[in-house]
Amino acid sequence: MIVMAHIFFFLLGSAIGSFLNVCIYRIPREKSIVKPPSACPGCEKPIRPYDNIPILSYILLKGKCRNCGTKISIRYPFVELLTGIFFLFLYRQFGFTFELVVFMIFLAILIVISFIDLDFQIIPDILSIGGVVLGFVLAIIRPFFRYLDPRFGILDSLYGIALGGGLLFAIAWLYQFFTKREGMGGGDIKLLGMIGAFCGWKGVVFSLVSGSVFGTVVGIPLMILKGRDSKYAIPFGPFLSLGAIVYVFKGNSLIHLLFKILLRE
């Protein structure tokens, strides 16, 4: 039974991942995410259902369109695999609970935001602000599922939104005011507001700190490689998202561990 559930959530995740690919491609291009059905960007022929099986079709087609041979980006099966793995681990973490649904939605939005931010250095409001609203609405419902521990409610969500959106906006504004340089972008602040809506203020702090660490670890070698005068900014959204995902899975135990180490010193 447990094995079946694992397989089910992996397959569900990879199917959702297939839809996330559509969102990643279409939302920044301001196209509808429901129609028309997926087509090959090369020959514009609609993709047949049997060529649209997550992960598997890419392997069977050897990464090329069946009709015209246009190369299909490895990113498509990657996003499907990633979403599948995340959903499987979310099931392991939360079991068959309402929290599972909440965090499947949360991670799905983070994946879409991250890849759009990588491509276009923007985070569309429909995702970030939409995520704030959705996270808050879900926080109203979450306390009714009493088996929840710890119980996450409206106030947790509100504090998270306030810290993620409000306080960080103030910091970014002050930074810009004094240095005349843009620090954190508006999109990142709205993203942190959304992280707060789903994870509370602790999740905001955790994502900001760990996201900065990830960003530095990846960013410094990249800056050396590309030359340090490069205005080519590395988007912060994917790192914040990664921080938030680590928080969902391991946040509490990592915070405990950190305090243990700090108090012993």
The residues binding Zn ion (CB under 5 A) are 40, 42-43, 65, 67-68, 70
In total, the chain counts a number of residues equal to 265
| Nearer to Zn ion among residue 47 and residue 158 (C-beta) | 47
Minimum distance from CB of 37 to Zn ion (Å)?
14
| Nearer to Zn ion among residue 68 and residue 126 (C-beta) | 68
Minimum distance from CB of 33 to Zn ion (Å)?
21
The whole-angstrom distance between residue 229's C-alpha and the CA centroid of its chain comes to 29
Minimum distance from CB of 40 to Zn ion (Å)?
3
| Nearer to Zn ion among residue 72 and residue 163 (C-beta) | 72
Minimum distance from CB of 45 to Zn ion (Å)?
6
The whole-angstrom distance between residue 228's C-alpha and the CA centroid of its chain comes to 28
**How much is the CA Rg of the chain, to the nearest whole Å?**
20
| Nearer to Zn ion among residue 67 and residue 93 (C-beta) | 67
- Which residue carries 């521990």 as its tokens? 149
